[in-house]
Amino acid sequence: MKAKLLSLAIICIISSSSFSQRLKLGIKGGATINKITGKSFNEQFTFGYHLGGFATIGLGKKLGIQPEVLFNQVNVDTSSAFSAVYQFNKVSKVKLSYLSIPLLLNINANKFVTLQVGPQFGILMNKGNTLVQNGKNAFKGGDFSMVGGLQLNISHIRLFGRYGVGLSNLNDIDNKEKWKSQSVQLGLGLTL
């Protein structure tokens, strides 16, 4: 599944670039402020980070596509109910690492401002040691989200902020409650 999703992203980048008017590559990174909703989690945002690369494929003056591949570290605080409901021994902090693949539609309002919207696919790469207990995996291996935001373009620099809301249930233990992700990303990119 992970290899198929990554292959699909690479094929999209290659095929889109053959039809594009302009192709720009870049790197980006920044802060990720996230939370997972559900009774078992504290209803507050925690801090993580993201690093990765992107391609901007122009489809005219006003539109473009921006596929990205990002490594995201997600830190989550559980509530006291988590250990009681799921019989885990004092799990208070969860650290998840995702390979995120957003495929964004860029809408250029003007030369400096770009609106971005699109789907994001997340592949869970590394579960913290506290998650695998009693033979159970707590989180599903993938996440599907919708992302929207704003990017400021200043020469080769890209300043961006975006909000992502998870559409898939991350709970892989049972159906007692649904866990969904929410995140805010703030960062800096540089076109090469």
Q: Please spell the DSSP secondary structure of 25-41, one letter per residue.
A: EEEEEEEEEEEEESTTB
Task: Return the SS3 of 18.
Answer: helix
- Amino acid at site 115: L
pLDDT at 17: 47
Cα–Cα distance, 46 to 32 (Å, whole number): 8
| pLDDT higher than 90, residue 24 | yes
Instruction: Give the pairing type, strands 142-154 and 180-191.
Output: unpaired
Phi-psi region of 167 (alpha: psi -120 to 50; beta: other; left: phi over 0): alpha
pLDDT digits (tens, 9 = 90+) for 119-151: 999 888 865 545 544 334 667 777 899 999 999
Sequence-distant (≥ 6) Cβ neighbours of residue 43 within 8 angstroms:
35, 37
Q: Which residues pair with 55 in a beta bridge?
A: 25
How far, in Å, CA of 137 to CA of 82, rounded?
14
CB under 8 Å to 44, separation ≥6 — which residues?
35, 77
Mean pLDDT on 138-166: 90
Evaluate if residue 91 carries a pLDDT over 70. Answer: no
Q: Is 75:93 a contact under the CB 8 Å cutoff? A: yes
CATH architecture of 2-191: Beta Barrel (2.40)
Whether 163 and 148 have beta carbons less than 8 Å apart is answered as yes
Q: Which of 39-48, 59-68, 116-125, 182-191 has the least mean pLDDT?
A: 39-48
Q: Which pair of structure tokens corresponds to residue 32?
A: 């990720």
pTM above 0.85, yes or no: no
Q: Which residue has the higher pLDDT, 17 or 164?
A: 164
Q: 63, 49, 30, 61: which is closest to 159 by C-alpha?
A: 30
- Domain chopping of the chain, boundaries: 2-191
Residue 34: pLDDT band (50, 70, 90) is confident
